[in-house]
Amino acid sequence: MRLHQICARLKYGDAITNQVMRIHEAASSWGWESHIYATAHDDIMKPLNEGLPDYRKDYGGNRDDLLVYHYSIFDKNHVFYDDSRNRRVFYYHNITPPEFFQPYDSFMAEYCKLGRDLIPSFRNCDFAISDSEYNRVELLEAGFDAEKTGVVPIIVDIDELGGEYNRELVEELSDGKVNVLFVGRIVPNKRLEDVIDIFAYYHHCINADSRLFLVGTTLLTGYSQDIEQSISSRKLQGKAIMPGWPAGVSESDLRAYFRAARVFITCSLHEGFCVPLLESMYFGVPILARESTAIPYTLGGAGIVFKRVDPPVVAEAMQELVTNEGLRALCMEKGRARLDAFRPSLALETLREYLSRFDQA
């Protein structure tokens, strides 16, 4: 079997790049020939990008080859997929609806719109994979054949989460204060303003000995400024903190924030998977999450969910997760059990089952 993967960008540390790499490594271990192509790459990933023109010239006309096209944003590289005579697998990672970006970045909003509008055109693929059941349902709504769809979740290296961490930072944060944690991109669909509203009630009305960490990379300066204004207007300066702004924090520091956290919270209105939920499960951090899009599918009951942002109600639930040791233990137990469903070996076994149906050897 010869396998080709196409994605928009190869970027070190990026979730989709990691998925491409894990599939590449797995395919090679299965004895398959494996190739990777992308429209763009960073310096670290440059040696792995074999070049889309070379793919078209050398392999695009081979019906016996298998092409996996990773789709997470509109990219003109879809023409290589369109023109390919390979057996084609469409791997859908979801695209954020454009209305979230429109007030801050019309260019990004337009690319999201173009990306979502193009989804039905991929219905003639030989098979479609989504990284969550929520994403698979989106494909069904776009007219994909249910019999030719499946789910392979984002492959998270669970063992790697237990790597080196900033011990000094953990010690600094272990000062008796309740550490509330959000991890994710600082973008409008994550609704960080709702997180701040909830924390403001918690901090001012329930437990003043608390602080909120909003850990993530900043893509939209205007939105980040709105979040800073929200923090200021609720008198949370020094209590609601965006460490590492705008580039985010190191992996070592990220592990430290998870180790020091008492509760994890997300109010996101749009997720295709939400990897930080798995990270929270690994570190035994109880989860408080808005029940939207892919979140309930990924969470699988391993946390407390809420449908509506009612700060006093959600803040009281947060206090229960902070102080009720029985509830905390139950959440941790359910988290460990749920995490087992996302074992890399299980995801790769499912992927191999899907792809092997095309193996003519």
Q: Which pLDDT value is given to residue 173?
A: 98
Q: Give the DSSP letter string of 326-346.
A: HHHHHHHHHHHHHHHTT-HHH
Q: Which pLDDT value is given to residue 248?
A: 87
Q: Are residues 213 and 251 in the same domain?
A: yes
Alpha-carbon distance values, 79 to 52, 76, 115 (Å): 10, 6, 13
**Going by C-beta distance under 8 Å and a sequence separation of 6 or more, which residues neighbour residue 311?**
197, 198, 200, 201
* Number of domains into which the chain is organized: 2
Q: Dihedral angle at the C-alpha atoms of 220, 273, 55, 47, nearest 10 degrees? A: 70
**Cα 28 from Cα 33, distance rounded (Å):** 6
pLDDT mean over 52-60 = 96
Q: Give the E-state strand segments of the chain in sequence order.
A: 2-10, 33-41, 66-71, 87-92, 127-130, 149-151, 178-183, 210-215, 240-241, 263-266, 287-290, 304-306
Q: Quick check: is 32 in a domain?
A: yes
Q: Are residues 130 and 149 in the same domain?
A: yes
pLDDT band at 138 (very low <50, low <70, confident <90, very high): very high
pLDDT mean over 334-352 = 95
pLDDT mean over 351-356 = 96
Q: Give the DSSP letter string of 222-256.
A: HHHHHHHHHHHHTT-TTTEE-TTTTT---HHHHHH
Q: Quick check: is 327 in a domain?
A: yes
pLDDT mean over 127-151 = 97
Q: Which pLDDT value is given to residue 250?
A: 93
Write the pLDDT tens digit of every residue in 204-249: 999 999 999 999 998 899 999 999 999 999 999 999 999 988 888 9
Q: Quick check: is 292 in a domain?
A: yes
Q: Quick check: is 361 in a domain?
A: no
Cα-Cα end-to-end distance for the chain: 7
The yes-or-no verdict on residue 188 having pLDDT over 70 is yes
Q: Are residues 137 and 165 in the same domain?
A: no
Note down the domain range covering 298. 159-340
Its pTM stands at 0.94
Residue type, 263: V
CATH number of the domain where residue 71 is located = 3.40.50.2000
Q: Quick check: is 87 in a domain?
A: yes
**Cα 88 from Cα 129, distance rounded (Å):** 11
pLDDT band at 360 (very low <50, low <70, confident <90, very high): low
Q: Are residues 73 and 91 in the same domain?
A: yes
Q: Are residues 312 and 347 in the same domain?
A: no
Q: Are residues 296 and 219 in the same domain?
A: yes
Q: Are residues 148 and 220 in the same domain?
A: no
Q: Are residues 80 and 220 in the same domain?
A: no
Under 8 Å between Cβ of 56 and 37 = no
pLDDT mean over 261-278 = 97
Q: Are residues 284 and 325 in the same domain?
A: yes
Q: What is the mean pLDDT of the chain?
A: 96
Q: Are residues 116 and 6 in the same domain?
A: yes
Beta bridge partners of 213: 181, 241
Under 8 Å between Cβ of 149 and 136 = yes
φ, ψ of residue 320 to 5 degrees: the values are: -60, -45
Q: Are residues 190 and 331 in the same domain?
A: yes
**Going by C-beta distance under 8 Å and a sequence separation of 6 or more, which residues neighbour residue 281?**
287, 302, 335, 336, 338, 339
Q: Quick check: is 164 in a domain?
A: yes
Instruction: Name the CA radius of gyration of the chain, rounded.
Output: 21
Q: Are residues 84 and 178 in the same domain?
A: no
Q: Quick check: is 299 in a domain?
A: yes
pLDDT mean over 336-352 = 95
To 10 degrees, what angle do helices 15-29 and 344-356 make? 70
Q: Which pLDDT value is given to residue 246?
A: 83
Measuring CA to CA, which residue among 98, 94, 135, 96 is closest to residue 113? 98
Q: Quick check: is 44 in a domain?
A: yes
